[in-house]
Amino acid sequence: MLVFLELNGIKLYFSQPELIEPGMGIAEGRTDSEKIKKWIIEHKKYLALKV
């Protein structure tokens, strides 16, 4: 997911502990797509795409 977002001009800024919670939530089935979307929005910064 992180590579896909960065290839599309979105860089996420997070600490390792911040990344563990959504990752574990996905693995345990307690994180849905809305929670993932919210987490991405909270941690994103747009990059200028190279053309």
* pLDDT at residue number 34: 95
User: Are residues 39 and 9 in contact, defined by beta-carbon separation less than 8 angstroms?
Assistant: no
Instruction: Return the half-sphere exposure (C-beta side, CA atoms, 13 A cut-off) of residue 10.
Output: 14
**H helices present in 1-51, as ranges:** 2-7, 16-28, 33-43
Cα–Cα distance, 24 to 40 (Å, whole number): 15
Cα–Cα distance, 12 to 51 (Å, whole number): 21
Pick out the chain residues at pLDDT < 70: 46-51
* pLDDT at residue number 33: 92
* pLDDT at residue number 50: 54
Cα 2 to chain center, whole Å? 6
